[in-house]
Structure 1
Amino acid sequence: MGFADDHLIPLVDEGLGNSAYLLDLGDGRALAMDASRDLRALRAAAERRGLRIAFAADTHLHADFLSGAVQLGHDTGATILASAAGRRAFGHQGLADGDEVDLGGLALRALATPGHTDEHLSFLLLDGGRELGVFTGGSLIVNSAARTDLLGADRTEELARAQYRSLKRLTELPDETAVWPTHGAGSFCSAPPGTKRTSTIGAQKQANPLLAAPDEDSFVDRLIASLGTYPAYFDRLGEINRRGPAVLTAQPALPDLSAQQVRALMADGGHVVDVRPAADYAAGHIPGSLSIPLRGQFATWLGWLLPDTAPLAFVTGADQDLGEIVWQAYKIGYERLASRLAGGMDAWIADGNPKATTAFLTADRAAGRPYVDVRQEAEFAAGHVPGAVHLELGSLTAAAGDAPTGPVVACGHGERAMTAASLLERAGRTDIAVLDGGPADYAATHGQQLAQGTEGTRP
């Protein structure tokens, strides 16, 4: 068929930091690569081009989202392509190293590239004998390689050594071969910050610091040293993807509940998640609710901070998209979505229920309070307020007692800090304020220079 650049459509999930790909095969059919269960963008792209998804491929058993391959197989009859070594418990075409799939003019060759997971495959796209590009999933990613600790600390080094060999294999491809990774900037699968999500083999040989490591031991040391924390739900999704996510036969809905019904849900062990902007939550919220503003990172923090086994109710603003709440939750396996509070906070207050407030302070009003920074370690090390106490948001539930008295809690802008404040309030703290801004705002207001590194900052 011949291949043109516009035959490949990247579909970026900015919140999770991942890319899926829709490949137009030129005959009305398409291949979906590493599609998530939230298929809205992929389906819209396919519809615009009049394409039917004929193949759905997964490079590995994903830990950060539920695969959409099973759903595509059900909805469009797509042939699911995945590693035979993954022992998936649903119908698929199992592939081993070197196996090729005829796509009708183009071909897809499986390359075993273990490291991020045991059964990881990269998929080399061929036009006759010419290597067009390689879907590298979580092996070679732009200026890095994906994390190797998801199968347990006892296997991290072993998988890092496998990752070294996989990257060396990929760099044997021609320099002009395009590199199409799944994980990118913003992914907790160990992608570095940056805006580029695709590259070429040649460019990565020049720019990827891991590929500059002089030997395998150095590579392993560099990769393992880069590993930060990751969301708790990552430990669950690989097995769900192996079994196959449940097929959805209808659009998931979020029904309305009254204030009285929301109170009953909380009394029965359910959780209330307030998805309004941080400032709205600060002005008035249900006591005991958790603030997770609805934005790209909503799924990450929902999956990090709450169990998937309890019913969830949501407090929303007037113009917020209920479908966005549902799909962000469903793509990480959170399906016990009981309701949203009908009428929002106005209805809650009108029913005679109490509301709580949280101080949301500009930098000039936060002077004199201990400064608690809840960002990730790499962000903190890159620049923080001198003397700040560092408590990552993901570990704050267990570390609530380590927060000093009367703190101002801060992140980069205020959203994660409001989430942190809501966690501390759930733990019984009533002395919390949140910084409306970030460390640069605070330092500039108080005539400080940001500090770097992590020494002397933990409680």
Structure 2
Amino acid sequence: MIFQQFEAKGLSHFSYAVGSKEEAEIAIIDPERDIKTYITFAAENRVKISYILETHIHADYASGARALAERTGAKLFVSAYDTNQKYAYNFPHNDIKEGEKIEIGKTVIEALHTPGHTPEHISFLVYDKERSADQPVSMLSGDFLFVGSVGRPDLLGDGDKLPLAKQLYNSIQTKLKNLPDSLEIYPGHGAGSLCGAGMSDAQHTTLGLEREANPYLQQLTEQEFTDKILGSIPHFPEYYLRMKQLNSDGAPLLESLAKTPALTPEEFAKAIGEKCIVLDVRNPLAFGGGHIDGAINIPSTDQMSFYGPVVLSYYLPIYLVVEDVSKVRDYVQALVRVGIENIQGYLQPNFNSWVNRGNDFTDLPQASVFALQDFMDIGEAISVIDVRSASEWKSGHIKGAKHIYLGDLINSSKSLPKDKEEPVFCLCGGGFRSSIASSVLMKMGYENVYNVFGGMTAWKGAGLPLTDK
């Protein structure tokens, strides 16, 4: 039996290859948009990709299912339970219903309808006939069951979240009931994803362990369950709605989008203007030392897929400033994974070439936690904006700081200082997310923005005072 888990870092997304060595065939489950990953795996293992399976219409990343099917000629199977739903599959595919099986030699994949996260959601039970023809050895649970959590039921809006929460409860109570404790659970996401609350860092688990430790699999009434799940839903990124529609229609091939031209400083200067985005992916200290006025800083590929959709436009052309041109494709790939496709070029060879041509640039001051404390002690009118998650904020924050989650920053103009000359200090856990926030505020016209490098880690390490109120 062939079984392989793939991780897309930054999205905390897992996809899978399941198949038979003897038959030299595999199925790919929930592929990401960079289908080269699976084509390379198949070539290295001398197997054919014969089937592609989707657990549901994804909201947090662009699926590669349609593109992979077109490239390989594999049969694409998706849930048959999307009929008359708000989001349905609108591209060529085969339907699969609960109980229907795909057999690849002695490996059998059986569909199980597990609605709740979405109405059409299906999970896949995997059987290895060499071990048992009657008992599944694993479940590819998609966004139904995570390690330590379950899928959020609010993706279709407030009007549907209670009915979906009830469906999720029913799926847990009925679909898992007769499955063995030994069943290995391989989810669609891990810690860091917003598709569920409180996921573990572990990449897989067993059903028995989840029955013991997962708070949503305990002895709860339907009312207790719905209260619990609806009371723990994470922040809802607006781009999820766009991803749902993109995946409903089927995302096009990645390769046709990833050919990004190199631009000389002169070409770059001519290309950029008010109706574009300069995306600077250098580290916060390099960005702070000097950057193109109005640039947005997202300082790592791991953060690109997660924060790109909440601070970048899907419609404006994007121009990249990078430290290492060999990684341009990695940055483009991270953006395209979440449907941001309008990347028009990158500065060649680096930011120094921009400066050496005499072009204008600006800086973002990096403040230590002691400098922030000094400003606060003086009593000047300043704003301290903490862009961490709600759970991080609740665990301890600076007295007088204002909490605005990074994902909400662009739409929080009413909560921001009215005086754009007032000093604004942005902080997070260590200085990376706050650098993103600082660059966004500078682009919005705030003139005295400081990134608190080291963030709350440095604040706590210095023994400075905290509050949880």
**Both structures adopt the same fold (TM-score exceeding 0.5):** yes
SS in 1 for 2:50: strand
8 Å contact kept, 1:291–1:418: yes
User: Comparing 162-171 with 149-158, which one deviates more in the overlay?
Assistant: 162-171
AA aligned opposite 1:152:
G
AA aligned opposite 2:394:
A
Residue among 157, 165, 177 paired with 2:162: 157
Which structure 2 residues correspond to residues 301-312 of structure 1 after superposition, within 5 A? 301-312=307-318
Matched, 1:451 2:467: yes
User: Residues 212-251 of structure 1: CA distance to partner in whole angstroms, max 9, x if unpaired?
Assistant: 2521111111111111213222111112112111135657
Residue among 329, 344, 347 paired with 2:350: 344
**Matched residues in 2 for 1:213 and 1:320: separation?**
53
Residue 397 of structure 1: aligned partner: 410
**Matched residues in 1 for 2:7 and 2:255: separation?**
25
The change in CA–CA distance for 1:23 and 1:191 in structure 2 (over 3 A counts) is farther
User: Comparing 269-278 with 340-349, which one deviates more in the overlay?
Assistant: 340-349
Residue 394 of structure 2: aligned partner: 381
Shift in Å at residue 153 of structure 1?
1.2
User: Residues 277-322 of structure 1: CA distance to partner in whole angstroms, max 9, x if unpaired?
Assistant: 1111000001111111122121121111122111110111135501
User: Residues 92-149 of structure 1: CA distance to partner in whole angstroms, max 9, x if unpaired?
Assistant: 2201222222222222211111111111111111232221111110111111111111
User: Residues 185-213 of structure 1: CA distance to partner in whole angstroms, max 9, x if unpaired?
Assistant: 11111242532121111111101001125
Q: TM-score of the superposition, structure 1-length normalised? A: 0.92
8 Å contact kept, 2:301–2:331: no
8 Å contact kept, 1:37–1:331: yes
SS in 2 for 1:74: helix
Residue 36 of structure 1: aligned partner: 32
SS in 2 for 1:11: strand
Which structure 2 residues correspond to residues 176-325 of structure 1 after superposition, within 5 A? 176-248=182-254, 250=256, 252-267=258-273, 269-318=275-324, 321-325=327-331
Residue 428 of structure 2: aligned partner: 411
Q: Which stretches of structure 1, 4 residues or more, deviate above 6 A after TM superposition?
A: none
**Matched residues in 1 for 2:263 and 2:255: separation?**
24
8 Å contact kept, 2:149–2:199: no
**Matched residues in 1 for 2:446 and 2:424: separation?**
10
Residue 441 of structure 1: aligned partner: 458
SS in 2 for 1:85: coil
SS in 1 for 2:216: coil
Matched, 1:9 2:4: yes
Residue among 9, 14, 21 paired with 2:16: 21
Shift in Å at residue 159 of structure 1?
0.8
**Matched residues in 2 for 1:343 and 1:249: separation?**
23
**Matched residues in 2 for 1:402 and 1:251: separation?**
37
The change in CA–CA distance for 1:311 and 1:352 in structure 2 (over 3 A counts) is same
The alignment of Structure 1 onto Structure 2 pairs a total of residues equal to 447
Shift in Å at residue 257 of structure 1?
2.2
AA aligned opposite 1:287:
D
8 Å contact kept, 2:123–2:142: yes
Shift in Å at residue 446 of structure 1?
4.7
**Matched residues in 2 for 1:445 and 1:320: separation?**
38
AA aligned opposite 2:432:
E
8 Å contact kept, 2:33–2:253: no
**Matched residues in 1 for 2:255 and 2:328: separation?**
18
User: Residues 376-402 of structure 1: CA distance to partner in whole angstroms, max 9, x if unpaired?
Assistant: 112212232333211111111232453
Residue 68 of structure 1: aligned partner: 64
8 Å contact kept, 1:11–1:19: yes
The percent identity for this pair of structures is: 28
User: Residues 1-51 of structure 1: CA distance to partner in whole angstroms, max 9, x if unpaired?
Assistant: xx4xxx321111231111111123222111111110123433343333222
The change in CA–CA distance for 1:248 and 1:143 in structure 2 (over 3 A counts) is closer
Matched, 1:119 2:125: no
**Matched residues in 1 for 2:47 and 2:166: separation?**
40
8 Å contact kept, 1:171–1:205: no
User: Comparing 230-239 with 382-391, which one deviates more in the overlay?
Assistant: 382-391
Which structure 2 residues correspond to residues 95-134 of structure 1 after superposition, within 5 A? 95-126=96-127, 127=129, 128-134=133-139
**Matched residues in 1 for 2:241 and 2:401: separation?**
31
The change in CA–CA distance for 1:400 and 1:356 in structure 2 (over 3 A counts) is farther
**Matched residues in 2 for 1:336 and 1:251: separation?**
8
The change in CA–CA distance for 1:260 and 1:200 in structure 2 (over 3 A counts) is same
8 Å contact kept, 2:430–2:457: no
AA aligned opposite 1:159:
L
Matched, 1:77 2:73: yes
**Matched residues in 2 for 1:181 and 1:248: separation?**
24
Matched, 1:371 2:384: yes
**C-alpha RMSD over aligned residues:** 1.9
User: Residues 401-436 of structure 1: CA distance to partner in whole angstroms, max 9, x if unpaired?
Assistant: 534532321111111100100111111111111111
User: Comparing 54-63 with 182-191, which one deviates more in the overlay?
Assistant: 182-191
Mind listing any 5+ residue stretches in structure 2 that lack a counterpart? 83-87, 377-382
8 Å contact kept, 1:400–1:424: no
Shift in Å at residue 353 of structure 1?
2.4
**Matched residues in 1 for 2:327 and 2:191: separation?**
25
Residue 141 of structure 1: aligned partner: 146
8 Å contact kept, 2:12–2:191: yes
8 Å contact kept, 1:110–1:121: yes
